[in-house]
Amino acid sequence: MQEAVQPDKRSNLKLQFWIAAASSILLIAKFFAYYLTNSVSILTDALESIVNVTAALIGLYSLYISSLPRDSNHPYGHGKAEFISAAVEGTLVLSAGLLIIYKSINSIFSPEPLEQLNIGIYIISITAVINWLLGFLAVRQGTNNNSLALLASGKHLQTDSYSTVAIVAGLFLIKFTGFNWIDPLIAILFGFFIIYTAYKIIRKSLAGIMDEADMVLLKKMVELLNKHRRENWIDLHNLRVIKYGNVLHVDCHLTVPWYLNLHQAHEEIDYLAKMIRAEFGETLELFVHSDGCLYHQCHICNKTNCPVRQHDFKGQIAWATHNIIENKKHGLKDLQEQIK
């Protein structure tokens, strides 16, 4: 029996549909403004909007794929599609930046007269407001639902709105000074800014595809574990955190007193899962290997009234990103290194 599509994934898909529809309308508006003004700065904005539309459609498709329930061919679900979508979007943004710089340099040597700047300024100003609002909604929902595709779309839309505002300012400057050479200069500057934005999008998407450790996420996880540490959690190691779309996969080895029965050990794991879900959301898949403690670990175990203690308690290992990912049980030697 297949699992149902989760509500947050449906809402992601719905929002991305409206982003794609709105981006298509704004694209037409910007090219109309370019037709009226002959401004290469406005053309810059319009070319980036082509990327917006293409990226929105790719994002829509990727969110549809990632919303499909896991099956026998994709036991971890289809969330990786979002990383691929973001990589394609970043590549398109990079292409737009290079095209903008090329067109702007040509316009320096073959300038065209600017016309009807007032109407052009009004049109692209409205598109900037709409883009920013759509971007704000996408970033907020992408953050809440751990959706890289929505985050990429939202940040791209907001970046587009910021560049539009700067272009409007430049057009006002041209209008009052009459220096038309400002137009291609502004376009070139924003071409480089767009290329930098593309680099960040591609870098993050490739990190997700390659399952690169998210150190910010890992640090937040370690802080949570230290804060809610229980007496029976003698040690925790080999922690791995991987994101597949909006699903968070957490693997770790938890050391508990060896004399706990299976039910008692499972209670510790249940509490661990409940604690992580409370902080990171319900879209969590947790795999915990429970280890029984060894006698030499008495030095780092602060459990009171332990009936089988062999050594005095020396101190507790403070979990940190550098030691919690190690695939080994911690002991007195690790405590001594920690004290140093």
235-244, strands of its sheet edge to edge: 235-244, 247-256, 284-292
Instruction: Decide: pTM greater than 0.85.
Output: no
Round the CA-based radius of gyration of the chain to a whole number and report it.
Answer: 27
Q: What is the average pLDDT across 108-132? A: 85
Residues 93, 89: Cα–Cα separation, whole Å: 6
Q: What is the average pLDDT across 36-61? A: 78
Higher pLDDT, 300 or 282: 300
Closest CA to 215 of 135, 116, 322: 322
Q: Where are the domains of the chain?
A: 7-209, 215-339
Orientation of helix 117-145 relative to helix 40-67, angle to 10°: 20
pLDDT-based confidence at residue 118 (cuts at 50, 70, 90): confident
Q: Is 65 a residue whose pLDDT tops 80?
A: no
Q: Quick one: how far is CA 230 from the chain centroid?
A: 31
pLDDT-based confidence at residue 41 (cuts at 50, 70, 90): confident
pLDDT-based confidence at residue 12 (cuts at 50, 70, 90): confident
Q: Is 272 a residue whose pLDDT tops 50?
A: yes
| Domain 7-209, CATH among 1.20.1510.10, 3.30.360.10, 1.20.1250.20, 1.20.200.10 | 1.20.1510.10
**CATH 1.10.150.50 at 215-339, yes or no:** no
Residues 247, 245: Cα–Cα separation, whole Å: 6
Q: Is 76 a residue whose pLDDT tops 80?
A: no
Q: Quick one: how far is CA 25 from the chain centroid?
A: 27
pLDDT tens per residue across span 201-258? 787 777 666 655 567 788 888 999 999 999 999 999 999 887 765 577 888 999 999 9
**CA dihedral over 136, 206, 244, 213, signed as positive or negative:** negative
Question: What is the average pLDDT score of the chain?
Answer: 81
Residues 186, 24: Cα–Cα separation, whole Å: 24
Q: What is the average pLDDT across 79-87? A: 69
pLDDT tens per residue across span 168-194? 888 888 888 888 788 888 878 878 887
Check: CB of residue 181 under 8 Å from CB of residue 111. yes
pLDDT-based confidence at residue 263 (cuts at 50, 70, 90): very high
Residues 307, 122: Cα–Cα separation, whole Å: 78
What is the model's pLDDT at position 296?
Answer: 85
Closest CA to 232 of 277, 292, 275: 292
HSE at residue 319, side-chain half, CA atoms within 13 A, is 26
What is the model's pLDDT at position 89?
Answer: 73
What is the model's pLDDT at position 6?
Answer: 53
Closest CA to 63 of 141, 8, 9, 136: 9
pLDDT tens per residue across span 285-330? 788 899 999 888 999 998 888 989 988 889 888 898 888 888 888 8
β-partners of residue 286 are 250
* Proportion of the chain above pLDDT 90, given as a percent: 17
Closest CA to 233 of 318, 142, 118: 318
